[in-house]
Amino acid sequence: MRFDQPAGTNPIDRMKVVGQPIDRIDGPLKVCGVAPYAYERHDVVPNQAYGFILGSAIAKGRIRSFDLADAKSAPGVIAIVTHENAGKLGKPKAITANLMGGPEVEHFDQAIAIVVAETFEQARAAAKLIRVDYARAQGQFDLRAAIPSAKPVSDSSGEGSASPGRIEIGDFDAAFARAPVKVDVEYTTPDESHAMMEPQATIAAWDGDELTLWTSNQMINWAVRDVSQALLIPREKVRVISPYVGGGFGSKLWIRSDVVMAALGARAAKRPVKVALTRQQVFNNTTHRPATVQRLRIAANKDGRIVAIGHESTSGDLPGGGPETATSQTRLLYAGANRMVEMKLAVLDLPEANAMRAPGEAPGMMALEAAVDELAEELGMDPVEFRVLNDTQVDPEHPERRFSERNLIGCLRQGAERFGWAKRNPKPGQVRDGRWLVGMGVAAAFRNNLTMRSGARVAVDGRGIVTISTDMTDIGTGSYTVIAQTAAEMMGVPVSQVVVRLGDSTFPVSSGSGGQWGGNSATAGVYAACAKLRDQVAAKLGFNATDVEFADGQVRSGGRSVPLTDVGEMSAEDTLTYGDLGKKQQQSTFGAHFVEAGVDALTGEIRVRRMLAVCAAGRILNPKTARSQVIGAMTMGVGATLMEEAVVDTRFGCFINHDLAEYHVPVHADIPHQEVIFLDEADPQSSPMKAKGVGELGLCGVGAAVANAVYNACGVRVREYPITVEKIIAGLPRVA
């Protein structure tokens, strides 16, 4: 099915099942501990051995030699694989650094060997006995020091955020210079780790020249492609299975070293091998969100209308990598005739920088929306009203392109009313609650909408059971549930009569999970398959396909009604592809974040007290699972603002706080009351589902809203994230 015209009225519009707050159907499996994650697949293949990966102890250089004698003679050791005996390997085009290093080393903790043994403990102990002779080379590990050598680059995150190396509309410099009110500020965001609950893990088993991988991955079809390119074997010889993923946040969009090393270990050991990365390896061996240095220059007339807006960002990555697209949202969020964005990339020899939840917009909004508040203060305007005044219904760079749906003003207005914004004191440091200084902050939320082609197979049997098969993944987002709801709505059966099978490369290729495209795109693929099956059923029953109705377990047309159970066994497969609607109109999602924060007047301790997100993001397929996505993103935003920082040792090129004891993320005590409101919206330009996504939107803007609340509470403006006690306390009012 091709989607190249705006969606008209269709069966999803009934909203009997779709749009209802149905409990996640995979929930009981997860809370009972029986959902099978990759490393726990003891049942799938017998005689599994254990692999442990040895990572490089240097960040850049060359391996002169290995001494494996002690490791080979250690108890339980079956095989050891290094670049010397691994055979010829390739590098997947989507991945920056080789997944097995040697003899060249590209970053600290790059996988350079795997030890396979009878037990995990034996493999780990033997890996420590390997002696490696390195020739260390000089590397560049400091983003600030590398800025002078950074070059403008045009790039896309692959998730809807993209920006040129430099683009200017109008005459930015002249407009900025002559404007009566302006800000020129620098914000920095640090390196961050995904720190998901389930680390990367894989079980690899060979059957002759065919490889099966039970792994933790967000994108099954991409994984098959990347394994084929890494191991130099045909795609048809690779099967990837990943029905449950314990969090990914972008770190599992592509295969990582656990996949390749498990496969190499299994081939050498001639038996299945299972590998799980340690928490420390998740930080330095996989990918991370790169640090940014961002300069915002925004100017307005005295009436508050923006006349010039400029955003420059610099980030770093390995040779061949790409930048953090932090300037993307600035191109679309506010009106203003004179505009400039510039995106630079510095070459750093740190572990690979790549997608982390809302790449581009998440750190970009942390800077932009704080700078917007600073300009509102310079103008003496309310921050909500300033944003409303500068709203636009067209793409500012291409005014002929309207937004398909844009209700940022509605999000701001409804959020302000619900949050009690009118009670906010605009003068910082004026509101006290005992020893706490209390303030409110706001930020717009923005994330582009991206649709991906997606396929599914649907079958119905003589019992009226509908089975959906697609290689879509569920990374904790509720894919099982919204897919079941879509099939139930289309085929006229309750959710209890729908079976959903996910995460297997033998199933039709789906959109996969990432960039908030998964829910909308995957259900659209299910819609296409069900529409095809509906036509087949109608033809079999002699019904007119244009007026056939599937409801309450019945197939009805022209006064006749036949139970679905009488249809017998039938199946259909289809893929939804997209035309150019996304080019004709700008498709984006919008929201507003409101935060109340307290700052201890004596110690500088910061506590978020309450949070509200208002989202306009197309049709909400399941308000319960969508709310879960948004509050999780809000929590992630609190972490990014107040505590998360992967600290770089600029001498040795590694992240030194590489575990959850020292890399701090929010816990329950850090998160207050959270409220989420979804505005009633359906976007027929997006898909037959008329949905979009909220998984990233819930994060974009949170950081600035927290920062703005902290400033309103105590009067200290911190432009270097994370905002910590050390950066607050020196600026607090003096107390006796």
- Please tell me the distance from the alpha carbon of residue 370 to that of residue 701, in angstroms, as a whole number: 9
Q: Catalytic residue numbers?
A: 696
Q: Does one domain contain both 112 and 261?
A: yes
pLDDT attached to residue 87: 97
Domain assignment of residue 366, yes or no: no
How would residue 720 be classed by pLDDT, with cut points 50, 70 and 90? very high
Residue 357 lies in a domain: no
Same domain, 735 and 650: yes
Give the pair of three-digit tokens for residue 58.
């240097």
Specify if 243 maps to a domain: yes
Show the 3-state SS of 447-503: EECCCCCEEEEEEECCCCCEEEECCCCCCCCCHHHHHHHHHHHHHCCCHHHEEEECC
Q: What does the pLDDT look like over 80-137, one tens digit per residue? A: 999 999 999 999 999 999 999 999 999 999 999 999 999 999 999 999 999 999 999 9
Residues 77 and 203 in one domain: yes
The identity of residue 212, as a single letter, is: T
Mean pLDDT of the chain: 97
- What is residue 545's predicted lDDT score, i.e. its pLDDT? 87
Q: Are 477 and 625 in contact (CB under 8 A)?
A: yes
Q: How far apart are CA 161 and CA 447, in angstroms?
A: 8
Q: Kindly state whether residues 230 and 129 are assigned to the same domain.
A: yes
**Can you give the pLDDT at residue 735?**
65
| d(C-alpha 182, C-alpha 342), whole Å | 19
> HSE on the CB side for 195, CA within 13 Å?
21
User: Does this model's pTM top 0.95?
Assistant: yes
Q: What is the pLDDT of residues 408-430, one digit of tens each?
A: 999 999 999 999 999 999 999 99
CB atoms within 10 A of CB 586: 21
- Domain range holding 607? 402-449+587-736
Residue 167 within any structural domain of the chain: no
pLDDT in tens, 642-662: 999 999 999 999 999 999 999
**Distance (Å, rounded) from C-alpha 401 to C-alpha 398?**
6
Same structural domain for residues 123 and 254?
Answer: yes
Mark which of 523, 552, 582 sits at the end of a domain. 582
Among 284, 308, 338, the domain boundary falls at 284
- Residue 330 is assigned to a structural domain of this protein: no
Q: Which helix (H) or strand (E) holds 607?
A: strand 606-616
CATH code assigned at 75: 3.30.365.10
Tens-place pLDDT, residues 586-638? 999 999 999 999 999 999 999 999 999 999 999 999 999 999 999 999 999 99
Token pair of 597 as six digits: 């924060």
Residues 486-524 have pLDDT tens digits of: 999 999 999 999 999 999 999 999 999 999 999 999 999
Angstrom distances, CA of residue 34 to CA of 24, 27, 516: 15, 10, 27
Per the document, the length of the chain is 736
Name which of 711, 734, 735 is nearest 723 in CA terms: 711
In a domain, 363, yes or no: no
What's the distance, Cα to Cα, between the start and end of the chain in Å? 72
Residues 540 and 572 in one domain: yes
Instruction: Looking at the structure, tell me whether residues 610 and 684 fall in a common domain.
Output: yes
Cis amide bond preceding 722, omega within 30: yes
Question: Do 418 and 479 belong to one domain?
Answer: no
Range list of H helices, 136-211: 143-146, 172-178
Tell me the C-alpha distance between 230 and 227, whole Å.
5
Are both 13 and 44 inside the same structural domain? no
What angle separates helix 623-642 from helix 702-714, to the nearest 10 degrees? 50
Whether 334 is covered by a domain: the verdict is no
Angle at which helices 257-269 and 220-231 pack, to 10 degrees?
A: 50
Distance, CA of 534 to CA of 422 (rounded, Å): 53
CB-based contact 361:700 (threshold 8 Å)? yes
User: Does 473 lie in the same domain as 434?
Assistant: no
What confidence score (pLDDT) does residue 156 get? 84
State the pLDDT confidence band at 736, using cuts at 50, 70 and 90. very low
H or E segment to which residue 66 belongs: strand 61-67
DSSP character at residue 23 = P
Pairing of strands 131-136, 61-67: antiparallel
- The neighbour count for residue 463, using CB atoms within 10 Å, is 10
Residue 509 counted as domain residue: yes
Q: Domain end: 266, 284, 302, which one? A: 284
Distances (CA, A) of 40 to 44, 234, 243, 505, 615: 10, 27, 12, 19, 37
Domain count, the chain: 3
For residues 626 and 565, membership in a common domain is answered with no
Query: Same domain, yes or no, for 113 and 50?
Result: yes
Tokens 């403990």: give the residue: 121
